[in-house]
Amino acid sequence: MPVRFGYLGLTMTKAKLHTTAVILAAGLGTRMKSSLPKAMHRLGNRPMITHLIETAKQIFDDVVVVVGPDMPELERATQPYRTVVQSERLGTGHAAKMAESLFGDGDVAILYADNPLITAQTMHRLLDARRSGASLSLLGMRPSDPGKYGRLIEENGHVLRIVEYKDATEAERKIGLCNAGVMCADANDFRRWLSELGNNNAQGEYYLTDVVEMAARSGQVLCVEAPEEELAGVNSRAELARAEATLQQRMRQAAMDGGVTLVAPETVFFSADTQISQDVVIEPNVFFGPGVKIASGSVIRAFSHLEGCTVGEGAMIGPYARLRPGTHCATNSHVGNFVELKNVELGTGAKANHLTYLGDASIGAGTNVGAGTITCNYDGVFKHRTVIGERTFIGSNSILVAPVEIGDDALVAAGSVITENVSATALALGRARQCEKPGRGLAIKHALKAKKEQG
């Protein structure tokens, strides 16, 4: 089975009682300095919100996303899950309240779109803690630099309240356990607490963290600890880069655990949906864009870029190869250095080993495409297809002007411009006849030198 990075190979059993995940995603991401909603910034070539939804749907029965006004791209990215709009940004408590009609009757977890790397196991632990008798469970972490995170104030293993850094005493600021924001409680309890929230603070906002103290007064509040790299928020470009590094490390480890050889793991970059089977070898400095599937026994050589393509068993790709969307390289096919394929079917055992562009083409089994070959697939308005048969030989520096078909076992002479179909087994030459003029080369050289001396 190939490694599927979107889920990192994890399957969790959903709890029996109904559960709902509410994801708060209305933030503009001012610190990102971007016109995109914060939740639409990408990790592993997919939006942050998609990562969190894909994980949450493994654990929760329903997913609801709270978006801001005028965020159509975010609403499209969350489909088919329900969204509600927080038309005024009056704090996290206000955002959660916008979704209370969709809480359902079971347990509700409040998640944040800028915490995209929470794992399914941690979400499951959050639910387990809630159902162990706690009125509310929440996630906490012990970052290497607690900085300005809110601190969790505990007594006898139970959380009493959250104190924000700016309001904390010196003793409280020394506490290492910090709030990650995520919490889980019974839907009716959440509704009651949200109705009691006030905005008597400097920002005039309704803070979701205030429900912790309410929950502690009526029952137990339990903290579930998770690693910093899993819970750290993404609020700036620098934090986005750190989250990307964490995600890439997870995916590299999952690939190696699944039987993939990474010669230099830290130089390989995956997308969240990359699928790689066992016994694949990936050399240094390879980039996988979205939509790539690699079959067993293939070798992806150094400095190659793959996107929207499939690679069959035993294929050899690169070095310095580029496979673009729509490309399928069949079993034991070869794509060599400085070769670009776009929307190409490369047949079993077929080879394009050097300095070639093939676009919108079908290449038959056992065919060899020589260095410098180009399929001219675009006339400025329309794309056209080139079809090359099996066991055909395309000589170096050939130009194939589509639409054109070349039959099985044909031979195209080097340097040819092919504008008409070539029959099976035929030899095709499409170049000017060579002629020779004795002594003329030296005469031209002398004439040019004389011009140069005369300025």
**pLDDT tens figures, 322-346:** 999 999 999 999 999 999 999 999 9
CB burial string 408-434: b at 16+ within 10 A, e below:
bbbbbbbbbbbeeebeeeeebebeeee
**Alpha carbon distance 365, 370 (integer Å):** 15
Identity of the residue numbered 52: L
Question: Which residues are part of a known binding site for UDP-N-acetyl-alpha-D-glucosamine?
Answer: 24-27, 38, 86, 91-92, 150, 164, 179, 235, 324, 342, 357, 368
Q: Tell me if the bond preceding 80 is cis, omega within 30° of 0.
A: yes
9: pLDDT confidence band, cut at 50, 70 and 90? very low
Mean of the pLDDT values across residues 72-85?
A: 94
Question: Could you tell me the CA-to-CA distances from 440 to 327, 449, 452 in Å, in that order?
Answer: 48, 14, 19
Domain 3-237 belongs in CATH node 3.30.70.20: no
Homologous superfamily (CATH) of 258-428 is Hexapeptide repeat proteins (2.160.10.10)
pTM above 0.85, yes or no: yes
Residue 100: CB atoms within 10 A of its CB come to: 17
C-alpha of 70 from chain center? 25
What ranges do the domains of the chain cover?
A: 3-237, 258-428
Binding-site residues, in ranges, read 24-27, 38, 86, 91-92, 114, 150, 164, 179, 235, 324, 342, 357, 368, 371, 377-378, 396, 414, 431
β-bridge partners, 427:
411
Tokens 């009056």, residue located: 90
Nearest to residue 303, comparing CAs of 290, 329, 325, 321?
321
Q: Per the annotation, where are the binding residues for acetyl-CoA?
A: 371, 377-378, 396, 414, 431
Residues carrying an active site annotation:
354
Other CB atoms within 10 A of residue 318 CB? 25
Residue 401 pairs in a beta bridge with 376
Distance CA 358, CA 350 (A): 13
pLDDT tens track for 35-57:
899 999 999 999 999 999 999 99
> Any residues with CB less than 8 A from the CB of 361 and at least 6 apart, and which?
343, 344, 345, 375, 377, 385, 386, 387, 388, 402
Q: What is the pLDDT of residue 132?
A: 92
Tokens for 37, please give them. Answer: 């909603």
Instruction: State the average pLDDT for the chain.
Output: 93
